[in-house]
Amino acid sequence: MTSEAITVLGLGNLGRALAETFVRAGHPVTVWNRSAAKTPGFSAAATVAEAVALGDLVVVAVLDNRAAQQVLSGVDVRGKALVNLTSGTPGEARELARWAYENGAEYLHGAVYAVPQTIGTAESSINYSGSPLVHERWQNVLALLGKVTFLGEDAGRASGYDAAILSGMYGLLGGFLHAAALARAGGIKAADLTPMLLSWLTDMQPALHTFAEEIDSGSYTGGESSLAMNQSGLALLIRATEAQGVPFGALSELKALVDQQVLDGRGEESLARAVESFARG
């Protein structure tokens, strides 16, 4: 058994998977959960303070950062390495990092790309940002949970990536659900549509790299997929979806971003330029 003692605060679905993974690897693990009903089978402390005192590494996984703040408030965290895997905004992560620093602890924030069942497998990865000391000292232990990627010293950076990645994911999921509804309205099974949709999305992947370069450089003049062409394509698609009785507001919102750029006289430039419409609010 290794001597690196670990505390897990929060024994919900994620926290339980984290604690079980550390136990399996032979670490002495102390857990604390708001409701004691979830702690049987673990070495559980009666209070957060007791749990924190017993761990060199303290991992937090509660519902949101407000709960994380409540849990840690008033607890002596001096000398501890705090790793918070709770989802939230970059600002919340920075605030917790400041609190930790002012109270003598080191703070690393993590964004988890796994479900509880895949924690500790090759299908799990976690992006971290915050204290480089915690990352360096604990990365081998954190690697038990999933692939470790360190994004730098700004504690809010992992949550910043997370919001963007999850927005992309929900955009894709929303698009898929709409596609399935449209297919169903046309008498096509979702299972028949999905392989063709995936094939097209896979072929389209390189376009995202091109768009990313255009967005980062602010130069949109080299593209092949113009705003004007996509404006016309979106108008057609919106009409088609309405005709099938399955309209989707997200398409109109996307078209509004494109319309704004065309109105500004940028119709011949790349579709990626529509990103500039977001900045208008």
Ligand X SMILES: NC(=O)c1ccc[n+]([C@@H]2O[C@H](COP(=O)([O-])OP(=O)(O)OC[C@H]3O[C@@H](n4cnc5c(N)ncnc54)[C@H](OP(=O)(O)O)[C@@H]3O)[C@@H](O)[C@H]2O)c1
Site residues (vs ligand X, CB under 6 A):
10-15, 33-35, 38, 61-64, 67, 70-71, 85-87, 112, 115-116
Q: Residue 67 CB, nearest distance to ligand X (Å)? A: 3
Cβ count near 130 (within 10 Å): 30
Tokens of 6: 């670990």
Q: Which is nearer to ligand X, 164 or 256 (CB)?
A: 164
Q: Which is nearer to ligand X, 14 or 183 (CB)?
A: 14
Q: Which is nearer to ligand X, 151 or 183 (CB)?
A: 151
Q: Beta-strand (E) ranges in 114-253?
A: 125-130, 147-150
Q: Which is nearer to ligand X, 107 or 220 (CB)?
A: 107
Q: Residue 197 CB, nearest distance to ligand X (Å)? A: 25
Q: Residue 15 CB, nearest distance to ligand X (Å)? A: 5
Q: Residue 186 CB, nearest distance to ligand X (Å)? A: 34
Is the separation of the CB atoms in 81 and 105 below 8 Å? yes
What's the CA dihedral at 224, 226, 231, 237 to 10 degrees?
A: 10
Q: Which is nearer to ligand X, 87 or 226 (CB)?
A: 87
CA atoms within 13 A on the CB side of 176: 15
Q: Residue 62 CB, nearest distance to ligand X (Å)? A: 4
- Helices H / strands E in the chain, number of each: 10, 8
Strands ordered across the beta sheet of 81-84: 43-44, 29-32, 6-9, 57-60, 81-84, 106-113, 125-130, 147-150
Which residue in the shown chain puts its C-beta closest to ligand X?
12
Q: Which is nearer to ligand X, 77 or 254 (CB)?
A: 77
Q: Residue 56 CB, nearest distance to ligand X (Å)? A: 22
Say which residues have a Cβ less than 8 Å from residue 110's Cβ, sequence separation at least 6.
Answer: 83, 84, 85, 126, 127, 128, 142, 158
Say which residues have a Cβ less than 8 Å from residue 280's Cβ, sequence separation at least 6.
Answer: 260
Q: Which is nearer to ligand X, 96 or 179 (CB)?
A: 96
Strand partners, 127: 111, 149
Q: Residue 199 CB, nearest distance to ligand X (Å)? A: 29
